[in-house]
Structure 1
Amino acid sequence: MVEEIRYKDINDEHYRLLLEADPSREKVESYLKQGNIYAAKIKQKLAGIMVLIPKGAKIIEIVNLSVSQEFRQKGIGTNLLQKALTLAKEKGYKTIEIGTGSTSFQQLYMYQKNGFRMESIDRNFFVKQYDQEIIENGLVLKDMVRLSQNL
C-alpha cells in the first residue's frame, strides 16, 4: 500500500531510506520541504519511499525513490513508479522525469521496463554535487542519467 505522508511526519526510518538513495541530508531536507512524499508499507513496515516535485505546470520529477533492502526484488519500486505515473496523469502533467546514477544498473533497468526513456547524461553531476566520492556496484559514481516518460 502506498500512501502520502506529510513532511512533519518524516522519522528516522524514512530518513534512513531516503539517504540510501541520496547521501546528502541537506539535499534531502531541501526537496522534502517542497515535494510530495509517498511511503509504501507492507504489514506496517516501511518498504519504500518516493518524493515527487513539480518542475513547472507540465513536468513533475521523481527526486528520490528508495526501497528497503529486505523488500527489494518484490515489486515495491515498480509499485511506487506506477503510483507516480498515476498521480502525474491525474494532476495533468505531460511529462514525468527521474535521474539516477550511471552505475545504478538495477534502477536503470526498472525505469526502462516501466516506460521511461533516456534523455541525457549530466556528466560529472555526482562529482560536482557531493563532497564525498560515491561508490556503487564497485564503481565510482560520476554521471547522472536523466530519463523521462511522456504521459
Structure 2
Amino acid sequence: MEKFTLKKMDPGSDIPYELLLLADETVEAIDQYIFDSDIYLLHHDVQNIAVMALYQNSNTELEIKNMAVIESYRSQGIGTILIDQAKEIAKENGYTTLAVGTSDTGFQQIKFYEKNGFIKKGVRKDFFIENYAAPIYENGLQMRDMIILTHDLSK
C-alpha cells in the first residue's frame, strides 16, 4: 500500500485554489465557503494529490463542500479514502450526518457517493443557474440543480 498522508491545513495558510478548482468552477464560488471550512490536503510523497473542504452546516451535520483529486491519481480509490476520512472526522467531532452536494448532471459523482453509502436527500432547484454568472455544462448538459446526498453516521 502506498503511503498517503492527510493533513488539516493551518488557518492562514495559502488556499490551494489550483486543487479546489478541479471540483468547483470559479474562485468566487470557492470563496463563498472556503474561509469557513476546514481544508485537508492528501499528500503522496511530497506532492499534494487531493483536497477536501469540510463545512459545518449545523451542530449535527458536516458537509463536504469540495473534494478533488489530481488527474493522474483518479480511479485509484483516492476519493473513497477521502470519503472514509471525512466520515471519521465527522464522527470524532460528534456529527451524525455527512452531506455533499453535486450537480444534477454529475452522473459519475452521484454514483460514486451512492457507492460510498450516501443517499439522495434533496434538491436545491436552480442552484447552478443562480450562483454562477455563466452557464456551466457537464456531460453535454447545462448544470441546473444541486443534488444533496447524505450519509447517516449514527448507524
Alignment correspondent of 2:139: 137
| Contact preservation (8 Å) 1:7, 1:32 | no
More helix by share: 1
C-alpha distance in structure 1 between counterparts of 2:108 and 2:10, whole Å: 29
Counterpart selection for 2:124 from 122, 125, 134? 122
Deviations 1:86-108 (A, max 9, x none): 00001110111100011112211
The gaps in structure 1 that reach 5 residues or longer are none
Partner residue in 2 for 1:51: 53
The aligned amino acid for 1:77 is G
Query: Structure 1: which amino acid aligns with 2:86?
Result: A
Q: CA 1:125/1:30 → structure 2, altered by over 3 Å: closer, same or farther?
A: closer
Aligned to 1:36: 38
Structure 2 residues without counterparts, runs of 5 or longer: none
Matched positions, count: 149
Partner AA of 1:8 in structure 2: G
Q: Is the 8 A contact 1:96 1:150 kept in 2?
A: yes
Is the partner of 1:21 in helix, strand or coil?
coil
Give how far 1:20 is off: 2.1
The amino acid of 1:96's aligned partner reads L
Q: Shift of the alpha carbon at 1:123?
A: 2.0
Please report the RMSD computed on the Cα atoms of aligned residues, expressed in angstroms: 1.3
- Distance in 2, Cα, partners of 1:29 & 1:10: 13
Please identify runs of 4+ aligned residues in structure 1 that moved more than 6 A. Answer: none
Deviations 1:8-54 (A, max 9, x none): 3235xx21121121112123123221111011111221211010011
Identity of aligned residues (%): 35
For the 8 Å contact 2:29–2:132, the answer to whether it is kept is no
- Of 64, 70, 73, 2:72 maps to 70
Match of 2:82 in 1: 80
Deviation at 1:7, TM superposition (A): 4.2
